[in-house]
Amino acid sequence: MSDRKGQKLGTETASSTESSFEGGAYGLRALEGGMGDLARGTWTFFHEIPAIGGMVYAGVGIAAALTVGVGELAVGALLGYVGYRIFAYGESTTEALQKTIRLEEGKLSDEDLKKPVSK
């Protein structure tokens, strides 16, 4: 840009300077670290109070059942128990689902029924 006499003006803006993230790699790593911290904090919270994790799973189950149109309370209760097993005992989702199905069929062992909550 020049003025009327042909001289250039010093009009460099902050946006025309080099990026502070150097290609974005640092910014993505910082975002990933923050998301990981949030996920770890959420897991710790639900692990300390597994009943709340079970309620969240039950709510998701009821919402999903409402869209499909099956017995909402039954699906919500079963998924609530799955969520409780995940957060209370540290089981994987598939393992907790298998044990919930065994519980409904009456085939879950007494050892699994009386399992203490892990800390």
Q: What is the tens place of the pLDDT at every residue in 30-66?
A: 667 777 888 788 888 888 888 888 888 888 888 887 7
Higher pLDDT, 112 or 78: 78
Nearest to 57 by CA among 84, 91, 94, 35: 84
Answer yes or no: is pLDDT of 8 > 70.
no
User: Does residue 74 surpass a pLDDT of 70?
Assistant: yes
Q: Which of 7, 28, 8 is nearest to 19 (CA)?
A: 28
